[in-house]
């Protein structure tokens, strides 16, 4: 069983959260309202304005790095910014809900496995069924989905008997038509390259969402830092 490490919570602590150098456009600390819009502030920095939140390319690159396992100090080196600036930006991203700190169990160390429960509804209340599943011991999270199974539950277990009991219990829930499950053997993570998602045709990105030749894709450099090891 390979236990992966999810992105570390942003390293937003440390002394001196004030920026050492004032950026030309401090969009990451601003709130705005209205419909989402994109504005180009200069030839190197692009901002996107969403309801109650405005982000620039530095914010998006920082989120990519933090999600890939980089600390604030390592991110500052990658982005060529003072550590205090990156710590401040990371703190604001967390405070405003753009980034969520995440911890992950060391599954192999704990001797537990990861499973996914896929529940197909025939009728009944999907929300109530999801709530009931979430209350089940061993269930970590539950999501309501469109397109395939109606409910996907993420659970942990130690042996197959627990899985059989869970499936039998889920099949007896009101409105459930079918239940299948899968066990995760291992998982891999990569940054989503957020600038390409938001700034297609802007800031050096072409219509396919790829960087121009002048700007190397952040995904090419966002491998896990060498000091980040699996548990």
Q: Give residue-wise pLDDT tens across range 164-178.
A: 999 999 999 999 999
Alpha-carbon gap, residue 92 to 12, rounded angstroms:
9
Region 141-148 average pLDDT: 93
pTM: 0.57
pLDDT surpasses 70 at 32: no
What is the edge-to-edge ordering of all strands in the sheet holding 113-121? 139-144, 151-157, 113-121, 176-184
How far, in Å, CA of 169 to CA of 164, rounded? Answer: 9
What does the H/E/C string look like for 65-117?
HHHCCCCHHHHHHHHCCCHHHHHHHHHHHHHCCCCCCCCCCCHHHHCCEEEEE
CATH number of 107-184: 3.30.70.920
Would you list the domain boundaries of the chain? 27-102+193-220, 107-184
CA atoms within 13 A on the CB side of 163: 19
Q: SS3 for 159?
A: coil
- Residue 49's pLDDT band (cuts 50, 70, 90): low
SS3 142: strand
- Which of 200, 194, 222, 204 is closest to 56 using CA atoms? 194
């Amino acid at each position: 069983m390979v236990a992966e490490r999810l992105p570390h919570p942003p390293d937003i602590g440390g002394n001196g959260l004030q920026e050492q150098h004032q950026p030309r456009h401090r969009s990451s600390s601003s709130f705005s309202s209205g419909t989402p819009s994109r504005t180009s502030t200069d030839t190197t920095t692009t901002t996107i304005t969403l309801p109650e939140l405005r982000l620039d390319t530095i914010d998006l690159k920082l989120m990519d790095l933090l999600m890939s396992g980089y600390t604030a100090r390592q991110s500052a080196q990658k982005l060529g910014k003072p550590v205090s600036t990156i710590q401040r930006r990371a703190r604001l991203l967390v405070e405003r809900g753009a980034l969520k700190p995440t911890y992950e169990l060391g599954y192999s160390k704990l001797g537990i496995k990861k499973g996914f429960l896929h529940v197909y509804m025939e009728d009944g209340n999907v929300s109530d069924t999801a709530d009931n599943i979430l209350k089940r011991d061993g269930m970590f999270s539950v999501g309501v989905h469109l397109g395939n199974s109606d409910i996907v539950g993420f659970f942990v277990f130690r042996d197959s008997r627990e899985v059989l009991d869970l499936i039998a219990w889920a099949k007896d829930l009101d409105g459930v038509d079918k239940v299948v499950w899968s066990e995760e053997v291992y998982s891999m993570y990569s940054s989503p390259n957020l600038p390409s998602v938001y700034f297609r045709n802007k800031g050096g990105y072409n219509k396919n969402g790829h960087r121009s030749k002048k700007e190397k894709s952040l995904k090419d450099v966002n491998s896990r830092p060498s000091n980040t090891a699996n548990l």
